[in-house]
């Protein structure tokens, strides 16, 4: 297993012991002894202590390293000087490719150190393509290490409604998918939108400053149980019940397994679903700003 751009020992403390490194299985009866863990990161984190191999890559060189790995997997010639710029050596990459090809079942866990740095969605695409190409030799999969609660749930719901997991534009009445253009961060940084609804998230604490400045300038509506950085800069903050604590619902684990949430407490505040339903009903009562098909037929 390969962890790329993540630090599960501190960010996902149960991942090693419950899901990936330690559990025993039918084909791994000895648990940890039957597995090889590789960590690829720009610095030695707490997760490096659990790794069999630690590859320290230079910041911003993930895409180049992944491209070199893909070339080696396909038996193509690789420029050693280009590999040297990544902070790794040809020997390290060749050894990693050999181990990946010989694995009975391999997995690449990639974190925000890969997906939120220079290259962003291109880095993620390169990691997933590498896993796909390794299936010509063995079974290999790729899985993101999520940064916040139920991010997987949002991806799953958007995917089964539109066919795409994120970066979806519905302004034309049908879904268009283009990461880097329609992704949330990119839309906010460019200042394309004049209103934003934020549900159970705090982009004001994590997004780039130009995106935060745009949220403060425009009409930002926040649905959240608590006061956050984003709610402080918003025009409207609607307090809602905390999902899983005082509101029912469904959350998805990182491996896309749904879990029903049974709240132990009651809340005087409405749920996110109820607030959105009320907003939707209010919008439906208003006259459309564009001609409806019925209106066009009447004037034809």
- Cβ atoms 113, 84 nearer than 8 A: no
Quote the mean pLDDT of the chain: 92
* Domain count of the fold of the chain: 2
Same domain assignment for residues 126 and 185? no
Q: In this predicted structure, what is the pLDDT of residue 265?
A: 94
Average pLDDT over residues 237-249: 94
* Residue span of the structural domain in which 140 resides: 2-144
Query: CA-to-CA distance for 261 and 223, rounded, in angstroms?
Result: 19
Same domain assignment for residues 6 and 134? yes
Same domain assignment for residues 185 and 246? yes
Least reliable range by pLDDT among 112-116, 138-142, 226-230, 247-251: 112-116
Same domain assignment for residues 53 and 172? no
Phi and psi angles of residue 38, each rounded to the nearest 5 degrees, phi first: -120, 130
* pLDDT of 173 above 80: yes
- Cβ atoms 40, 4 nearer than 8 A: yes
Same domain assignment for residues 33 and 136? yes
Average pLDDT over residues 196-203: 93
247: DSSP letter? B
Same domain assignment for residues 128 and 35? yes
* pLDDT of 271 above 70: yes
Same domain assignment for residues 56 and 130? yes
Pick the last residue of a domain from 144, 165, 184: 144
Per residue, what are the HEC states of 37-99?
A: CEEEECCCCHHHHHCCEEEECCCCCHHHHHHHHHHHHCCCCCCHHHHHCCCCCHHHHHHHHHH
3-state secondary structure of 16: helix
Residue 187 exposed, middle or buried by CB count within 10 Å (0-12, 13-18, 19+): middle
Phi and psi angles of residue 238, each rounded to the nearest 5 degrees, phi first: -100, 120
pTM (whole model) above 0.95: no
Whether 295 maps to a domain, the answer reads no
Residue 18's domain is classified under what CATH number? 3.40.228.10
Residue 170's domain is classified under what CATH number? 3.40.50.740
Same domain assignment for residues 66 and 135? yes
Task: Of 256, 255, 224, give the one whose Cα is nearest residue 241.
Answer: 224
* pLDDT of 295 above 70: no
Same domain assignment for residues 186 and 255? yes
Same domain assignment for residues 164 and 267? yes
pLDDT tens across 247-265, in order?
Answer: 999 999 888 899 999 999 9
């Amino acid at each position: 297993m390969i962890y790329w751009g993540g630090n599960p020992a501190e960010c996902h403390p149960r991942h090693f012991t419950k899901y990936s490194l330690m559990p025993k299985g039918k084909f791994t009866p000895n648990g940890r002894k039957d597995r090889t863990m590789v960590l690829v990161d720009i610095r030695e984190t707490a997760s490096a202590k659990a790794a069999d191999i630690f590859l320290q890559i230079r910041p911003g060189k993930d895409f180049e390293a992944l491209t070199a790995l893909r070339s080696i997997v396909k038996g193509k010639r690789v420029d050693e000087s280009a590999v040297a710029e990544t902070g790794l050596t040809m020997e390290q990459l060749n050894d990693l490719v050999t181990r990946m090809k010989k694995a009975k079942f391999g997995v690449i866990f990639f974190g925000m150190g890969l997906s939120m740095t220079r290259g962003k969605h291109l880095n993620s695409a390169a990691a997933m393509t590498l896993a796909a190409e390794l299936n010509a030799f063995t079974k290999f999969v790729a899985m993101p290490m999520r940064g916040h609660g139920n991010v997987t749930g949002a991806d799953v719901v958007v995917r089964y409604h539109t066919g795409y997991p994120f970066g979806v534009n519905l302004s034309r009445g049908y879904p268009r998918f283009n990461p880097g253009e329609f992704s949330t961060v990119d839309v906010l940084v460019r200042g394309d939108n004049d209103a934003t609804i934020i549900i159970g998230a705090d982009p004001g604490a994590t997004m780039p400053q130009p995106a935060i400045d745009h949220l403060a300038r425009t009409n930002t509506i926040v649905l959240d149980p608590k006061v956050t950085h984003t709610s402080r800069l918003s025009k409207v903050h609607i307090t809602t019940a905390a999902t899983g604590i005082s509101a029912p619902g469904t959350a998805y684990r990182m491996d896309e397994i749904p879990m029903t949430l049974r709240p132990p407490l009651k809340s005087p505040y409405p749920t996110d679903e109820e607030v959105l339903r009320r907003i939707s009903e209010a919008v439906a009562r208003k006259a459309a700003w564009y001609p409806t098909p019925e209106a066009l037929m009447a004037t034809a």
